[in-house]
Amino acid sequence: KSNGGGVGKTTIAALVCVRGDIRTRYRHGLAWLNNEKQRHSLDYESYCKSLSEICMQLGLLPQKLKLTPFIRCPCEDDAVAKYRMVSYMKEAFANMGQLLMLHRKKHSRGEDARQVNFLIVFDGIIDESDVDWFLFRDSNDGYVLNDLLVTSNLAIRGLE
């Protein structure tokens, strides 16, 4: 069961993002991912596109992510292909975390680097497990590098 479209979730998210206090808090970067066209759970290709979009919106060069092309081998078992794809996604996730750390250090200019905040709006998530792929972490201490605002048509557990 899902909550229908057209109830204003995207509009509310946009109104939140233009508030002065939000713009001040996330002055180092705000990225908006529109996921309305995706009809299936996240795969490597769509994840790489999303990471590239985030980079461009934050003023980073997507090529610095050093993404490895995923090529499925003929006759490769589906389970093996999925395992390889997830390992490629983990590598991309780690690379994005490193890139955000460098960006954060560049913008900290004497202040605590943890005070440099990024917001990623994930508009229209279709699988709640995809959220974790967009909470990037410092590879040294596991500190989350960005906040995430999510809109979804998913039913809220307990309310369906």
> Could you tell me the strand order of the sheet in which 30-34 lies?
30-34, 119-125, 147-152
Residue 88's pLDDT band (cuts 50, 70, 90): very high
Q: Kindly report the backbone phi and psi dihedral angles of residue 128, in degrees, each rounded to the nearest multiple of 5, phi listed first.
A: -60, -20
pTM for this predicted structure: 0.85
Of the listed ranges 23-32, 80-89, 137-146, the one predicted with least confidence: 137-146
Q: Kindly report the backbone phi and psi dihedral angles of residue 83, in degrees, each rounded to the nearest multiple of 5, phi listed first.
A: -60, -45
Q: Is the dihedral of CA 24, 30, 35, 36 positive or negative?
A: positive
Residue partners of 2: CB distance under 8 A and separation at least 6? 153, 154, 155
Residue carrying the six token digits 């201490």? 141
